[in-house]
Amino acid sequence: MSSVLHEDPYLESWRWMSRQIRCGLDPDEPRLIEHYLSEGRYLACCTATHPWTVAETSFRLLIDTANDIALPWHWRSQCLDQAWRPLRDLEKLSHCACRLKRWQAFAWQLATCQLLPSIPVSDLAQGSSDE
C-alpha cells in the first residue's frame, strides 16, 4: 500500500506532463519531453506502475502527438524524434511472443511515420468562424 501512496504524486505529475505534450501547451519547451520520459522511468523502476505500461503509454503519446496536424510542426517533429526511446524500452521488455509482436508493430509504426504539414493557425481560426 505504501508504494501506491508514494506513486500517486508522480503518476499525477506524469499524466499532467502527458497532457501538456499531447495538447502542445508549451511547444517551445522540448525539455518537457525529457522530463516526461524521466518521470516515466522513475514510475517504472520505483513504484508499482508496470514498466511496459509506462513505455507503451509514452510511445503512443509521442507518436499520436507527432501525427496531430493541428499542432505546430516543430513540436510534432520533437515528439517523433524522441519516440525511439520508449520503443527501445519496449524492446527490452518483449520477453514473450505477444509483446514481441506488439513491439514489432510499434517499430513499424515509427519506421513508416511521415509527418504531414501542420494546419496553419490562420486555417484553424477560419474553420471555427465558418460554422
Given this model, what pLDDT does residue 50 score?
Answer: 95
Does residue 59 contact residue 86 with C-beta atoms inside 8 Å?
A: yes
pLDDT of residue 129: 53
Radius of gyration of the chain (CA): 16
| Helices and strands (H and E) in the chain: how many | 7, 0
Query: From the centroid of its chain, how far is CA 123?
Result: 26
**In the numeric block, which cell numbers belong to residue 13?**
505529475
Q: Measure the CA–CA gap between 11 and 4, rounded to whole angstroms.
A: 10
- Write down the pLDDT at residue 127: 59
- Reference 18, options 59, 49, 51; nearest CA is 59
Please state, in angstroms and rounded to a whole number, the distance separating the CA atoms of residues 44 and 55: 8
Per-residue pLDDT 10s for the chain (131 aa) are 444 446 688 899 999 999 999 999 999 999 999 999 999 999 999 988 999 999 999 999 999 999 999 999 999 999 999 999 999 999 999 999 999 999 999 999 999 999 999 998 777 666 555 54
| Res 5: pLDDT | 45
Cell numbers for 101: 509482436
Q: Are 56 and 44 in contact (CB under 8 A)?
A: no
